[in-house]
């Protein structure tokens, strides 16, 4: 028997066809002739109907995962537009990671590139997408060993380069999403205690509540003792930390700081929180 | 009789349950007696934060076995080496005696389906899949077991039965089998084959572990949802396996509409009862 004598489609052809079928937009009818060329019917279902089970499960699983990770974005857009955004995102991006946890990694960039999907809430939606992804990073990203002050050469401190903990994200936002998120979570907790319908807002076509008023805030989304925190930063502190995170030497990063005393206070706080790591 | 063998690292674990988030609080507060926990590898591969803390706390008191959902032994693209390295780091942390994943495929050109897609039962698929199982086993330096999946399609290109495919792949890769009795039941209903005949054909000396779960009836097919108690036909098939294999490592999965921990343990207790009954009835044969 030769390698190909027992079949008419290669493994590659079969996998390409099935994968293409499961990524068709939800509800799309899979062409019967193509389906029956690869898949057998059952007593109760045609080949297309059987393939559709996988198509439905694909979209259900991925949308469910993103709904869980971006509940604030859903609040901003309302259920109908949020689902449209997710469908567009998944159609363009797909999933490139073995872990569903990574599925929303490019949501911020996608919102930025597709303002028409989130107008008139573009600024808020973009902030929310980045803020929620930062929480995912803070939840479970690996932590590194922290910088040991005893190991710092005082004569070369200006040349010191550090990296920030992988689990922290620095955000410059146009809305106070830290306060807003905390208030929203409290509201949800109350609702879930009062009603079995925990995810009521998922079916709302319109945003279910008032968006927060604009206000520029600088945040470090991080974790401490395995709990997620949003720490507000001063603008200068945010700029210095961002520069350090880009790999700039300490002297360059601190050049814009107002006074040595302020810098020492910031530095002490960062060390206490374990944010600085050796390169 | 124990089913400890080289495919499960000669481990005799008893009856475990799948570790799920809604049970964390109960487990860490009450430290209930559980033979072992099975974790989904991909849920712990970021190696930081709360998942890492959960894992380290769990390992203080329990044996942990790793079960994966993303190795996709039947996919055609090369393995992501970074993914394998992370998996190996996790293996070193958990000390799992073996690692299981599914006899399926799930990715094309780097795009992931996050589903367990059935393979066509062809000679090409046997050869390809077995080679990839061996590649993972050699990289991880750990026994690897493949789990039969539930399926909703069969391919026009298949030239053998599912159980023959399982047999040929496991022999070609010289790997173990994680026999999911629920999946056999689901697929037997969806495709109209005899589930007992399937079990009779499985090389039992390769079975490292058994999975139990409850599917959902969608009218024209069964869907493998793991959101119900184990149905009677699955218990019946499990008894058949135990009667032939003895005290096999057994794991109850409950992944959706997850009830309180005590309820899941009560369901797992039914498996313990079956194992004990066989042990009492068949113990004199040893």
For chain A, give the percent of residues with pLDDT over 70.
Answer: 90
What's the number of CA atoms in the CB half-sphere (13 Å) around residue B45?
22
**Higher per-residue pLDDT: A186 or B202:** B202
CB atoms within 10 A of CB A113: 10
Q: Which domain holds residue B47?
A: 6-285
What number of residues does chain B have? 286
pLDDT per position as a tens digit, B80-111: 999 999 999 999 999 999 999 999 999 999 99
Record: contact B115-A57, CB cut-off 8 A: yes
Record: contact B122-A36, CB cut-off 8 A: no
Q: How confident is the model at residue A203 (pLDDT cuts 50, 70, 90)?
A: low
pLDDT of residue B285: 39
Q: Averaged over B220-224, what is the pLDDT?
A: 96
pTM of the model: 0.92
Record: contact A44-B220, CB cut-off 8 A: yes
Collect all residues of chain A within an 8 Å Cβ-Cβ radius of residue B157.
Answer: 6-9, 14, 38
**Token pair for residue B249?**
């490592």
* Total number of domains constituting chain B: 1
Q: Averaged over A199-215, what is the pLDDT?
A: 70
Collect all residues of chain B within an 8 Å Cβ-Cβ radius of residue A145.
Answer: none
Is the residue at B1 inside a domain?
Answer: no
Distance, in Å, from the CA atom of B192 to the CA atom of A228, rounded to the nearest integer, reads 50
pLDDT at A197 over 50: no
CB-count burial class (<10 Å; 0-12, 13-18, 19+) for B153: buried
Record: contact B75-A15, CB cut-off 8 A: yes
pLDDT at A145 over 70: yes
CATH number at residue B154: 3.20.20.150
Distance, in Å, from the CA atom of A246 to the CA atom of A227, rounded to the nearest integer, reads 25
Is the residue at B102 inside a domain?
Answer: yes
Record: contact B156-A36, CB cut-off 8 A: yes
- How far B156 CA lies from chain A's nearest CA (Å)? 5
Q: Averaged over A186-190, what is the pLDDT?
A: 73
Record: contact A143-B48, CB cut-off 8 A: yes
Chain A residue at shortest CA distance from B193? A42
pLDDT per position as a tens digit, A87-112: 999 999 999 999 999 999 999 999 99
Distance, in Å, from the CA atom of A45 to the CA atom of B154, rounded to the nearest integer, reads 12
Q: How confident is the model at residue A208 (pLDDT cuts 50, 70, 90)?
A: low
pLDDT of residue A192: 57
Which of 55-94 (B) contact A at CB < 8 A? 70, 74-76, 80, 83
pLDDT of residue B279: 77
CB B210 within 8 A of CB B179: yes
Q: Averaged over B2-24, what is the pLDDT?
A: 94
Which of 135-164 (B) contact A at CB < 8 A? 152-157, 159
CB B17 within 8 A of CB B252: yes
A2-6, A163-167, B150-154, B166-170, range with the lowest pLDDT: A2-6
């Amino acid at each position: 028997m030769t390698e190909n004598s027992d079949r008419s489609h290669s493994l590659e052809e079969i996998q390409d066809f099935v994968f293409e079928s499961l990524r068709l937009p939800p509800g799309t009818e899979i062409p019967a002739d193509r389906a029956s060329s690869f898949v057998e019917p059952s007593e109760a279902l045609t080949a297309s109907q059987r393939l559709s089970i996988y198509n439905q499960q694909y979209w259900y699983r991925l949308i469910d995962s993103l709904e869980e990770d971006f509940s604030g974005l859903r609040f901003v857009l309302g259920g109908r537009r949020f689902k449209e955004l997710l469908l567009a995102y998944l159609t363009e991006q797909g999933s490139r990671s073995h872990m569903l946890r990574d599925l929303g990694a490019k949501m911020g960039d996608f919102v930025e590139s597709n303002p028409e999907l989130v107008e008139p809430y573009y600024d808020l939606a973009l902030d929310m997408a980045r803020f929620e992804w930062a929480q995912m990073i803070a939840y479970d990203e690996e932590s590194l060993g922290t910088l040991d002050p005893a190991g710092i050469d005082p004569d070369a401190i200006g040349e010191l380069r550090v990296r920030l903990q992988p689990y922290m994200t620095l955000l410059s936002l146009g809305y106070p999403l830290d306060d807003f998120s905390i208030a929203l979570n409290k509201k949800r907790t109350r609702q879930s205690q009062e009603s079995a319908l925990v995810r009521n807002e998922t079916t709302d076509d319109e945003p279910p509540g008032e968006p927060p008023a604009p206000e520029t805030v600088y945040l470090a989304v991080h974790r401490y003792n395995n709990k997620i925190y949003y720490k507000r930063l001063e603008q200068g502190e945010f700029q210095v930390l961002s520069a350090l995170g880009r790999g700039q030497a300490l002297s360059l990063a601190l050049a814009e700081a107002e006074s040595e005393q302020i810098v020492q206070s910031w530095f002490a706080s960062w060390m206490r929180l374990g944010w600085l790591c050796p390169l | 009789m124990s089913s400890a063998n080289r495919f499960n690292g000669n481990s005799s674990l008893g009856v475990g349950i799948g570790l799920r988030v809604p049970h964390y609080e109960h487990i860490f507060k009450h430290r209930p007696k559980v033979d072992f926990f099975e974790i989904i590898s991909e849920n712990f591969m970021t190696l930081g934060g709360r998942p890492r803390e959960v894992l380290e706390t769990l390992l203080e008191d329990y044996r942990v076995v790793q079960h994966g959902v993303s190795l996709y032994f039947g996919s055609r693209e090369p393995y992501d080496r970074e993914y394998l390295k992370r998996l190996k780091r996790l293996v070193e942390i958990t000390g799992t005696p073996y690692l299981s994943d599914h006899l399926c495929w799930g990715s094309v050109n780097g795009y992931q389906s996050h589903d367990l897609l059935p393979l066509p039962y062809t000679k090409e698929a046997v050869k390809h899949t077995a080679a990839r199982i061996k590649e993972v086993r050699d990289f991880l330096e750990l026994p690897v077991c493949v789990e039969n999946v539930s399926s909703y399609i069969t391919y026009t290109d298949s030239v053998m039965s599912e159980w023959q495919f399982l047999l040929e792949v496991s022999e070609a890769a010289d790997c173990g089998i994680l026999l999911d009795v629920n999946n056999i039941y689901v697929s037997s209903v969806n495709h109209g084959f005899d589930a007992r005949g399937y079990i009779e054909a499985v090389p039992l000396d390769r079975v490292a572990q058994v999975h139990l779960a409850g599917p959902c009836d969608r009218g024209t097919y069964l869907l493998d949802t793991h959101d119900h108690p184990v149905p009677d036909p699955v218990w019946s098939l499990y008894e058949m396996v135990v009667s032939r294999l003895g005290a096999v490592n057994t794991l109850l999965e409950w992944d959706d509409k997850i009830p309180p921990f005590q309820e899941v343990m009560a369901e797992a207790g039914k498996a313990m009862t079956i194992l004990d009954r066989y042990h009492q009835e068949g113990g004199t044969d040893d």
